[in-house]
Structures are given as C-alpha cells and as structure tokens.
Amino acid sequence: MASRDPVADLRRIAFLLERANEATYRVRAFRSAAATVAALGPAELAERAAAGTLAELSGVGDVTARCVTESLAGEEPVYLRRLAATEGTDLQGAAAVLRAALRGDCHAHSDWSDGGSPIEEMALAAVEIGHEYLVLTDHSPRLTVARGLTAARLRRQLDHVAKVNDALPEGFRILTGIEVDILADGSLDQEDELLARLDVVVGSVHSNLRDDSARMTRRMLAAIENPHLDILGHLTGRKVAAAGAGDKAHRGGRTRPPSDFDLTRVLAACVEHGKAVEINCRPDRLDPPKRMLTVAVEAGCLFSIDTDAHAPGQLDWQRYGCERAALCGVPVDRVVNSWPADRLLAWTSGHSGGN
Ligand SMILES: [Zn+2]
Ligand SMILES: [Zn+2]
C-alpha cells in the first residue's frame, strides 16, 4: 500500500479537534508532532517508524507516533478515522446555500495577538476550506490581555503578510485587517493612517460592557459613523455556554448577558453608513442573538458571517453562523463575505474616503 503523508494526517487531526472545540493542549500535541515530523528526512522517518523510536523525538508522543506509523504504512490513522466519523451532519437547505456562497472570512486571529497559530497556518487552513481570502484581524493596543498590536507591531505584521501572500497559492490571499477596540468614547484604538491602510476594519466593544444604554448607544454610533470601520464585531458582547466546548476557557461559567443599547438606532446607523453587522459564529458567542438578527434583516443591514477563529480548525465554524442566518432569513447578496475580494475591497474603501 502506498504510504500516506503523516504530516498532513497529523494536521488534519489537529484541525478536526479544533473544529470540535477540544482542549488546546490536545490540539497542540498534534501540531507540534506535525512540525517535528516535517523537519525529519524521509529516511530517518522510515527508520524510526520501523525501529519504534518515533516517540523518543521531542514533540512526538505515543499517540502521535502511532498515527505516523499507520500513515507511513498507508493506513488512515485510527485516531483520524474516529474523528472523521464524528464530524457534524451536513447543513440543510438555506444554511447550506449560504455556506456554499461564502468566499472568505473577515474575522480571524493569529499568534501575533491571542490566537494559537502562526499566520501561515491560518492561511493554509483557509485555503483547504476553499476560501479565496482570509482577513487577518488581530487585536488593537489597548486590549493588552490579548497582546493587542501596537502601531509598530501592526506595521511589521503588514510587511510580514505581504511576504506570506507571495508564497501562498494563486487564487487565495490574506487581506490585511484589525479587530479594533471601540473605546469608551466611541473612538477606534489605532492610528488613523493605519486604519486607512488596512483592507478591512472590524470594530468591537471589549471593555465597559455594562455601560448604560445611552452611553453604549452613543459609543457604538460614533464607531459606526467612523469612516474607517467596515464591520461591527459581535454586536452585543454576550457570552453563552458553548455546547460541547472542550476548551477550558469556554467550558461552564463565564457567560455574559448582552450589553444594553438602542438596537433600532444602531442598526439604522449601520444601514445609513453602509456598514455590515457581523454574525459571529463562535459557539460561545452566537452573536447577535436570533431575535436581533431578525430585526437587522428587516432593517436592511449588510452582514458578514465570520468565525472569529483563534485556531485553524475554528475557521470551519461558519456553519454555525449560516444556520442562524438562514433561520432569520438573511439574503445571500447582503452577506459581504459572499462577495469576491475585489467587490469586498471596493465596498470597504467606498466608505473610508478612499483608502
Ligand atoms: Zn472580539
Ligand atoms: Zn476576535
């Protein structure tokens, strides 16, 4: 039997574990084993597999060593087969149509801020999912708990993304972006010059989430009116108990009610300024809630169905947003990430005074 690619199998397992929201340490075991194995020559790899000494390598354990051995023998690793068998059921009807229409993702993090993987890994996963683009939206300076990027680090990231893009397959590109904090006064937490340079700007409220309604409404309206903002991230800031969450950070507790603001005015401002309301796909957010999503559809808003992924496998969470969007009657042509990159970029530069 022809041998399989053990690195691809290990990465696939990591991807499926992330998608299932499994604990980070389990995912990391497979990603680091993949890195170790990728660095070995084929001869040493075969030799170690035959001698049973793979697990002596740093980064490789008994479980990952078994996967590599099975791969090299041309068998689908048992671990992978079991995971693949528990994959979610197929999307139905309108949700499937929406999911099939998506060409990219406008909200994702790398290890430059609080994501777990390098930009290259995130991009490769997006390619495998079939995306044409991925907007990289690491956090802004004031969100220090998430290692938000200072202006200087963001400038370095832009140079780095340009290099990574050169090495990626034809027909796919990383678009530059940011998840910029909407500060207490409604201003955006990054230099104007940089915000103008970025392809896509997602703006989110991460602090003072319990501001009273009048204050929160003023704050959100100021951000929506800011010509740099393109997409309003996780509208209400709520946190829900994620079903089947394996990640400690999201298991149990840690829920948070939606913040208080004038929904009608906020949505009307989004329509007036041509800004998109994010449909955040994270199982621990599911934001906006369905009752608000329905109102946003009726108001005539644009939408962006984004994963807010912090790991490659989470890029496949768009299905959760599509299910909710379908239930609430979101029309496909009003979803900005169903548009080709050129149309998306024409839209973002259209309301930022030509960036
Ligand atoms: Zn956020
Ligand atoms: Zn985010």
Q: Which helix (H) or strand (E) is 174 found in, with range? A: strand 173-181
Tokens of 161: 């993304």
Q: Which of 111, 104, 58, 99 is nearest to 199 (CA)?
A: 104
Tokens of 55: 């697990």
Give 108 Cα–ligand 2 centroid separation in angstroms.
Answer: 6
Give 327 Cα–ligand 1 centroid separation in angstroms.
Answer: 24
Q: How far apart are CA 313 and CA 12, in angstroms?
A: 9
Give 311 Cα–ligand 1 centroid separation in angstroms.
Answer: 14
According to the model, what pLDDT value does residue 241 have?
Answer: 86
Per-residue confidence in pLDDT tens, the chain, 355 aa = 678 999 999 999 999 999 888 888 889 999 999 999 999 999 999 999 999 999 999 999 999 999 999 999 999 999 999 888 876 667 888 999 999 999 999 999 999 999 999 999 999 999 999 999 999 999 999 999 999 999 999 999 999 999 999 999 999 999 999 999 999 999 999 999 999 999 999 999 999 999 999 999 999 999 999 999 999 999 999 999 876 544 444 445 579 999 999 999 999 999 999 999 999 999 999 999 999 999 999 999 999 999 999 999 999 999 999 999 999 999 999 999 999 999 999 999 997 544 4
Among all ligands shown, which has an atom nearest to the Cα of 105?
A: 2
Task: Write the single-letter amino acid at 37.
Answer: V
Q: What is the pLDDT of residues 205-221, one digit of tens each?
A: 999 999 999 999 999 99
| Cross-strand pairs, 302 | 276
Give 133 Cα–ligand 2 centroid separation in angstroms.
Answer: 17
Q: How far apart are CA 265 and CA 234, in angstroms?
A: 17
